Structure 1
Amino acid sequence: MQVEIMKKLDVIEKENNIKILYAIESGSRGWGFASKDSDYDVRFIYIHPTDWYLSIEDKKDFIEVPINDLLDINGWDIKKALLQYKKSNPTLLEWLSSPIVYTEDSSAAQRMRDLLPYYFSPVPTIYHYLHIARNKYEEIMSTEQVKIKRYFYILRPILACMWIEKNNTMPPMEFSKLMAAQQLDGILVNEINKLLEKKTSGLEIDIEPKSPIITDFLKRKIYYYEQYLKTVRKEKTSDYNLLNALFREILKEVWGG
Structure 2
Amino acid sequence: MTPVLDTAIAPAIRSDIQARLDRIEADHDVRLLMAVESGSRAWGFPSPDSDYDVRFVYVRPRDWYLSLSPGRDVIETPIEDDIDLNGWDVRKALGLLLKSNAVVNEWIQSPIRYRPDDPFITKIAALADRVLDARALAHHYSRLGRDAADRWLDGIDDVPVKRYFYALRPALAIRVLRLHQGIRPPMNLQALVAMAELPGAMVSQIETLVAAKARTNERDNGARVPDLDRLIRDEIGRASDLPKPDPDARWRDEADKLFLELVNT
CA deviation after TM superposition for structure 1 residue 145, in Å:
2.4
* Alignment-derived partner of residue 159 in structure 1: 172
Given the alignment, which residue of 104, 109, 113 partners 1:101? 113
* Alignment-derived partner of residue 152 in structure 2: 140
Distance in 2 of aligned mates of 1:117 and 1:216:
31
Structure 1 stretches of 4+ with a deviation exceeding 4 A read: none
Are residues 27 and 14 of structure 1, via their aligned partners in 2, closer, same or farther at CA, if it must alter by over 3 Å? same
For the pair 1:124 / 2:136, whether they are aligned, the reply is yes
For the pair 1:31 / 2:39, whether they are aligned, the reply is no
Distance in 1 of aligned mates of 2:202 and 2:264:
51
* Alignment-derived partner of residue 258 in structure 2: 246
Which letter does structure 1 place at the counterpart of 2:113?
V
For the pair 1:235 / 2:246, whether they are aligned, the reply is yes
Given the alignment, which residue of 156, 163, 180 partners 2:194? 180
Distance in 1 of aligned mates of 2:66 and 2:95:
17
SS of 2:75's partner is strand
For residues 80-127 of structure 1, what are the alpha-carbon distances to aligned partners after superposition, in whole Å with 9 as ceiling and x for unaligned? 111111111110010000111112352221111122232111111111
Are residues 7 and 139 of structure 1, via their aligned partners in 2, closer, same or farther at CA, if it must alter by over 3 Å? farther
Matches within 5 A, 1:67-78: 67-68=79-80, 70-78=82-90
Distance in 1 of aligned mates of 2:120 and 2:215:
36
Equivalenced residue count is 250
SS of 1:180's partner is helix
**Identical positions, percent:** 36
Distance in 2 of aligned mates of 1:242 and 1:140:
44
* Alignment-derived partner of residue 97 in structure 2: 85
Q: Residue 124 of structure 1 contacts residue 234 of structure 1 at CA under 8 Å; is this kept in 2?
A: no
Distance in 1 of aligned mates of 2:215 and 2:99:
37
Which letter does structure 2 place at the counterpart of 1:47?
V
Distance in 2 of aligned mates of 1:64 and 1:40:
14
| Structure 2 stretches lacking a partner, 5+ long | 1-12
For residues 48-91 of structure 1, what are the alpha-carbon distances to aligned partners after superposition, in whole Å with 9 as ceiling and x for unaligned? 11110111223210011113251101000011111111111110
